């Protein structure tokens, strides 16, 4: 089936003992009754498929996991309470029986950098940052660090760099390391990292997949080699997503491909318009022929889909200038998220990369003049008009 069809049908109409509801219901029970202790024993031992305790499994969440795994063509998935908890679970699963060492992309979401530096490093995990778009530099870092895993983003946040996932996967495989790819910005409509050799594909479900600003959640999709480890860790640590959030996410995913196609098309128009605006210093967008990773983008991305995030620098703007600009927005929502049906703007220095030191941000290329626009499904003319007024 094509991804559009999977988004509508996968996970639904799983067969309970009687009639099958056409959409997945919300199962709120924390524990489950069996006809016999023998059956309960088999379910606890994972010898028989079924449910015993909601920290282990839940019918609504299981349906969502089946759906997300289907979109990514993975062996299975784990739905979690947030995107960051999903990323932490992926790292924990990757480093099981591997060296406690990570080579990470130099360009990452601020909370991911904080997790690596402020949580994992103090607990004894060695972390090294490298430009993963420079394969020679990556090979050197991997040879010197001998990592248990490599961590990258499909499209980096917020400067939208794109590494060669298949080539990075080959480097990881040769070193015996697992490759974790945060695929939130690209979504499985544009790139499916497991098909390119990654071991884990991670999502903030909050963003494009759920897509309506009413869910906080995450998901890890794993290959067959790592799925059992991921599920076993989840049964112990319990980072589970609740059934209400699972239901809302499934409902959102049914329209995800349609929304994402519209958002990508809108983003292309917005990026072209911003590139000609006299108040805009620079635009970052994967469709730009001058993008430093254009060859990888053309090779790895689905045709004519470049994502729905456009970052740009306002000419000669400092922090207060950006505040005034964003305060003048009328329709575009200044908010600390992305991927909703409505357009949203974020100031990375203040929010997504707030906890990164100014010197580290400067090395990452994140300046005070930079804003990140998550393009929605509105009429593109209205988005342009709002930006034009505010600029």
Give the active site residues: 55, 109, 182, 207
CB atoms within 10 A of CB 388: 11
Q: For residue 39, what are the CA distances in angstroms to 56, 63, 180, 231, 361?
A: 16, 22, 37, 21, 55
Tokens 């995450």 correspond to what residue?
A: 218
Tell me if 66 sits within 8 A of 11, measured CB to CB. Answer: yes
246, burial (CB in 10 Å: exposed 0-12, middle 13-18, buried 19+): buried
**Cα(243)–Cα(60) distance, rounded to whole angstroms?**
6
**Cα(170)–Cα(304) distance, rounded to whole angstroms?**
26
Angle in degrees, CA 97, 152, 258, rounded to 5:
120
**Cα(183)–Cα(220) distance, rounded to whole angstroms?**
10
């Amino acid at each position: 089936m094509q991804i559009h069809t999977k988004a509508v049908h996968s996970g639904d109409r799983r067969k309970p003992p009687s009639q099958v509801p056409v959409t997945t219901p919300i199962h709120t029970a924390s524990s489950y009754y069996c006809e016999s202790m023998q059956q309960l024993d088999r379910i606890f031992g994972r010898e028989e498929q079924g449910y015993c305790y909601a920290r282990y499994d839940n019918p609504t969440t299981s349906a969502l996991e089946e759906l997300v795994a289907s979109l990514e063509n993975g062996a299975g998935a784990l739905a979690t309470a947030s995107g960051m908890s999903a990323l932490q679970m992926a790292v924990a699963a990757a480093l099981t029986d591997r060296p406690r060492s990570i080579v990470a992309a130099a360009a990452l979401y601020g909370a991911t950098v904080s997790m690596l530096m402020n949580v994992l490093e103090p607990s004894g995990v060695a972390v090294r940052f490298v430009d993963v778009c420079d394969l020679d530099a990556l090979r050197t870092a991997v040879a010197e660090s001998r990592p248990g895993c490599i961590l990258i983003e499909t499209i980096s946040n917020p400067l939208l760099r794109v590494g060669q996932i298949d080539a990075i996967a080959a480097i990881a495989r040769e070193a015996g390391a697992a490759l974790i790819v945060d695929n939130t910005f690209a979504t499985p409509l544009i790139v499916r990292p497991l098909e390119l050799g990654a071991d884990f594909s991670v999502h903030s479900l909050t963003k494009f997949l759920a897509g309506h600003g009413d869910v906080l959640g995450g998901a890890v999709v794993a290959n067959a080699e790592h799925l059992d480890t991921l599920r076993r860790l989840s049964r112990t640590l319990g980072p589970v997503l609740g059934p209400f959030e699972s239901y809302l996410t499934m409902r959102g995913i049914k329209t995800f491909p349609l929304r994402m196609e519209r958002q990508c098309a809108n983003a292309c128009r917005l990026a072209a318009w911003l590139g000609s605006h006299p108040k805009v210093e620079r635009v970052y967008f994967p469709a730009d022929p001058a993008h430093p990773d254009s060859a990888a983008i053309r090779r790895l991305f689905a045709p004519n889909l470049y994502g729905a995030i456009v970052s740009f620098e306002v000419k000669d703007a400092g922090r207060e200038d950006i505040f005034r600009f964003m305060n003048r927005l009328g329709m575009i929502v200044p908010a600390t998220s992305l991927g909703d049906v409505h357009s949203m703007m974020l100031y990375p220095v203040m929010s997504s990369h707030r906890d990164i030191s100014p010197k580290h941000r400067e090395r990452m290329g994140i300046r005070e003049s930079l804003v990140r626009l998550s393009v929605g499904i509105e009429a593109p003319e209205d988005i342009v008009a709002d930006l034009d007024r505010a600029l």
